[in-house]
Amino acid sequence: MIIRVRSEQLYGLHLVRQDLSLEGISSDVAKLALEEHETDWFIVA
């Protein structure tokens, strides 16, 4: 849900990763979740 909300708020990939880390989500889990989420981060940023 964090990824969806942040991408809708036009947060870039780096900030989304940072938010996931602050929420206690490991980098491995965050990487998998970001890969599954179909966001074109180049366009969002």
Residue 39 has a pLDDT of: 86
Q: How far apart are CA 9 and CA 22, in angstroms?
A: 18
| Per-residue pLDDT tens over the stretch 1-45 | 889 999 999 999 999 999 999 999 999 999 999 999 888 888 876
Residue 38 has a pLDDT of: 85
Show Cβ contacts of residue 33 under 8 Å, excluding neighbours closer than 6 positions.
Answer: 3, 20, 25
Residue 27 has a pLDDT of: 94
pTM of the model: 0.82
**Structural domain of 35:** 2-44
Our count of domains for the chain comes to: 1
